[in-house]
Amino acid sequence: MFDTTLILSVLAAMVGFVFWIKFTKGGQTKYKDITSAIMFLIALFILYQVFKLNLDFGLILAFATLFSLFSWLLGRIIKLEELQRESKSYFFILLVITCIRSFAYEPYQIPSRSMVPGLQVGDFVLVNKHAYGLKFPGTNYLLTDLNPPERNDVAVFIPPHTLCNTKPTDARPDFSKLSTAESQLFLSKFKNLQKTRCTAGGVKFVKRVIGIPGDTIEIKGYEISINNKKIKQKLLTSNPEETLIEETIDSGIHVIRTLGLSDYAQHKWTIPEGSYLAIGDNRDNSLDSRAWGYFSEDYLIGRADYIWMSWTSFTSLPSFARNKKIQ
């Protein structure tokens, strides 16, 4: 998960911290200021590595919170008032941010058109981090019992093909039950996707859950059957550019978009334990379970509950006109 450059950078920051304490206690202001500047540059480089490796920012916040607590306590032990004062202020700020982001709500920006029309590119959504159970920040370790996703949930998760250490059988635990043609097609798709898209920490996706453990899901074109029962679909509008259809899964109603181009002619799945099937509302422009298989409950991030802001580019102003609960 962590590479050598990141580890060496963190060690360099720790060494710099030791020298900063030494120079501060010795009243060597000049060397203290130089060390502070070097540590600031190292911190920027560490942040660059974090984003480059696509590491979970929640884990970084947790480490920063614990480090500020350690520094505060260290300052009290060695009676260094400046270290106590600075660390104490950072600790409480970081603690509040970490708790909100890890256990309440996390902001997430929609990066693609796969959930159009409900979610547009640039929408900022609030991800409910306690909907499926609380996890230790930045990890998959559950602190509470799992509260399983329900059909029609708009879930945020890490799909298997974006993790470099995932095997095709992790994405399809039922791989041995596939026909020879199906297994070869899936292997080819999965390996190609993983080769071009995987990272150390995976990539967060947002899709609609349509299949939960034990369900039998069948898709014929745009028609979906859950446990041999077709879901209700109602045509809203149709023109040469797009077709909008109102879809009802259980008691949840949402709108999907089609272009009449679907190459997913027919698929059938029986969802294994601990796995979920998720697809995008923009059915002809979504990379989802139809291509890469199931996602595991271990990689659930949370449930997208609310659009709180839209910001399409840095050259435009943020808009709050789309504020609404996600259906």
CATH number where 273 lies: 2.10.109.10
195 and 71 part of one domain: no
Going by the DSSP 8-state scheme, the letter that residue 189 receives in this structure is: H
Query: Which pLDDT tens digit goes with each residue over 201-224?
Result: 889 999 999 999 999 999 888 889
44 and 156 part of one domain: no
Give the Cα separation of 77 and 98 in Å (integer).
26
- Residue 1 scores a pLDDT above 60: no
118 and 267 part of one domain: yes
Q: Of all residues in the chain, what percent carry a pLDDT higher than 90?
A: 52
- CB burial class (10 A; 0-12, 13-18, 19+) of residue 110? buried
Give the Cα separation of 67 and 61 in Å (integer).
10
Where is pLDDT greater, at 130 or 313? 130
CA 172, chain centre distance (Å):
20
20 and 160 part of one domain: no
Element spanning 243, H or E:
strand 243-249
Going by the DSSP 8-state scheme, the letter that residue 159 receives in this structure is: -
Amino acid at 208: R
- Weakest-pLDDT range from 1-5, 15-19, 25-29, 153-157: 1-5
Query: Which pLDDT tens digit goes with each residue over 226-249?
Result: 999 999 999 999 998 899 999 999
Q: Which residue segment(s) compose the domain that 70 sits in?
A: 4-103
94 and 206 part of one domain: no
How confident is the model at residue 262, as a pLDDT? 59
Using alpha carbons, select from 128, 123, 124, 122 the residue that is nearest to residue 106: 128
150 and 191 part of one domain: yes
79 and 109 part of one domain: no
Give the Cα separation of 6 and 171 in Å (integer).
29
Start-end of H helices in 27-172: 29-52, 57-77, 81-103, 168-171
How confident is the model at residue 78, as a pLDDT? 87
Radius of gyration for the chain, computed over Cα atoms and rounded to the nearest angstrom: 24
92 and 109 part of one domain: no
144 and 28 part of one domain: no
Domain final residue, candidates 51, 69, 103: 103
Give the Cα separation of 209 and 226 in Å (integer).
12
Query: Which pLDDT tens digit goes with each residue over 81-96?
Result: 888 888 888 899 999 9
13 and 85 part of one domain: yes
Going by the DSSP 8-state scheme, the letter that residue 280 receives in this structure is: -
CA 228, chain centre distance (Å):
32
Element spanning 9, H or E:
helix 4-25
C-beta of residue 293 within 8 angstroms of C-beta of residue 190: yes
Alpha-carbon dihedral angle through residues 289, 295, 300, 301, given to the nearest 10 degrees: -40
98 and 142 part of one domain: no
Sign of CA dihedral 39, 41, 46, 51: positive
pTM above 0.75, yes or no: yes
Query: Which pLDDT tens digit goes with each residue over 266-317?
Result: 678 899 999 999 999 999 999 999 999 999 999 999 999 999 999 988 888 9
Mean pLDDT of 175-192: 86
- Residue 324 scores a pLDDT above 90: yes
Mean pLDDT of 142-167: 94
Query: Which pLDDT tens digit goes with each residue over 25-45?
Result: 888 888 889 988 998 998 888
Tally Cβ neighbours within 10 Å of residue 26: 10
32 and 170 part of one domain: no
Domain final residue, candidates 85, 103, 121: 103
Q: What is the number of structural domains in the chain?
A: 2
Domain final residue, candidates 78, 103, 128: 103
Mean pLDDT of 86-115: 91
